[in-house]
Structure 1
Amino acid sequence: MSEYHKRGGAAVAALNRMDAWEAALVLNLRLWSEGPAGQEHVRGEFDRALNQTHAKRAWEDFDSLLRRIIDLAHRPMVRHEVGCNCVGADECVFAHLVGTASAGHLNDAALIATLLVGPAHAEHIAILAGEVGQCARRIHKHHTAFPTEKPHRAVRLH
């Protein structure tokens, strides 16, 4: 892999330092990128957390967003392994895009999207990212409604 393409993998954050819903989003991105088995795992998460209608729509939005980004990207999107605590630059941009869009800041989200795709597609990507983010936040609320244990906040680099 060339040095140019490695830039998107530079560690810029850590999963255990992100909001839980954003960390889950990055993990789902990684799983989805692994192929059919990982995609089925992500789809299963949606199925367990949401009713059938919402789960189907959430999966379609998530899958569509990632397929569009991959198809339209300036360069291949770089990611870390599923079990890695590091968050690469591309993964962080993706999480920031989804977070900004789902917070209702679509103009800013479209600008962030241009870090991944061309400007002609940025607005559509931002709108889709907003849908994905709203769902990710809803799933997180579902999973944390009755926390059973305190989250582990230890810092581990690798």
Structure 2
Amino acid sequence: MTASNQARGGATVNVLNRMEAWEAHLILNLRLWCEGPTGQHHARQDYLNALPAPEAERAWAAFQRLTRKILCTAPRPLVRHDVGCNCVGSDECVFVHLVRTASDGHLNDAALIATLLTGPAYAEHIALMAGEVGSTLRHIHDRQAQSFSPANAPNVVRLH
């Protein structure tokens, strides 16, 4: 990869701790997946820990299909930061924006965003996959947020 490709896709444009939790989780899953079998195992475990097994396997398969499709059809390598890095690169941000837009139901806009990562021939298909991945991650994080709500905590007593 040339230095110009690295600069173009790896420029820091955000940080993980300033993003919504599900978006940061999506980036971490992408980074882990790109690390290879060990990282993929850890990312898959996140799904298995958060969802019933059949649903987790479907969600994990959807994430893998999306990631593979983008990486296999991209005109240049996807640039990412290290798993432990708090920085978010521009390619990673585009990935999150694609998934967010698609899971918000704006598939035409998501397809346009997908063309920043891949060729236009694949953009609509990628937008549909991104919508599924985003909806699942949002569902996981919404459920986790509800279960950790202070109002639902059994060890909290309200006096007034």
TM-score, with structure 2 as normaliser: 0.90
In the aligned structure 1, how far is the partner of 2:76 from the partner of 2:141? 31
Percentage identity across paired residues of the two chains: 61
Query: Could you say which residue in structure 1 is the equivalent of 2:156?
Result: none
Query: Could you say which residue in structure 2 is the equivalent of 1:76?
Result: 77
Alignment of 1:65-144 (within 5 A): 65-144=66-145
Q: Could you tell me how far 1:148 is from its partner in structure 2?
A: 7.5
In the aligned structure 2, how far is the partner of 1:70 from the partner of 1:119? 14
In the aligned structure 1, how far is the partner of 2:116 from the partner of 2:74? 9
In the aligned structure 2, how far is the partner of 1:129 from the partner of 1:64? 10
In the aligned structure 2, how far is the partner of 1:75 from the partner of 1:112? 16
Query: Could you say which residue in structure 2 is the equivalent of 1:5?
Result: 5
In the aligned structure 1, how far is the partner of 2:134 from the partner of 2:30? 13
Q: Could you tell me how far 1:53 is from its partner in structure 2?
A: 1.6
Matching residue's letter, 1:85: N
Query: Could you say which residue in structure 2 is the equivalent of 1:155?
Result: none
Give the aligned CA root-mean-square deviation in angstroms.
1.2
In the aligned structure 2, how far is the partner of 1:57 from the partner of 1:89? 28
Bigger mean CA offset, 53-62 vs 135-144? 135-144
In the aligned structure 1, how far is the partner of 2:36 from the partner of 2:21? 24
In the aligned structure 2, how far is the partner of 1:143 from the partner of 1:82? 22
In structure 1, list runs of 5 or more residues that go unmatched.
150-158
In the aligned structure 1, how far is the partner of 2:77 from the partner of 2:148? 37
Query: Could you say which residue in structure 1 is the equivalent of 2:154?
Result: none
TM-score, with structure 1 as normaliser: 0.91
Query: Could you say which residue in structure 1 is the equivalent of 2:32?
Result: 31
Matching residue's letter, 1:78: V
In the aligned structure 1, how far is the partner of 2:70 from the partner of 2:83? 19
In the aligned structure 2, how far is the partner of 1:109 from the partner of 1:24? 20
Q: Which has the higher helix share?
A: 2
- Larger Cα Rg: Structure 1 or Structure 2? 2
Q: Could you tell me how far 1:60 is from its partner in structure 2?
A: 0.4
Matching residue's letter, 1:45: D
In the aligned structure 2, how far is the partner of 1:89 from the partner of 1:98? 14
In the aligned structure 2, how far is the partner of 1:49 from the partner of 1:56? 11
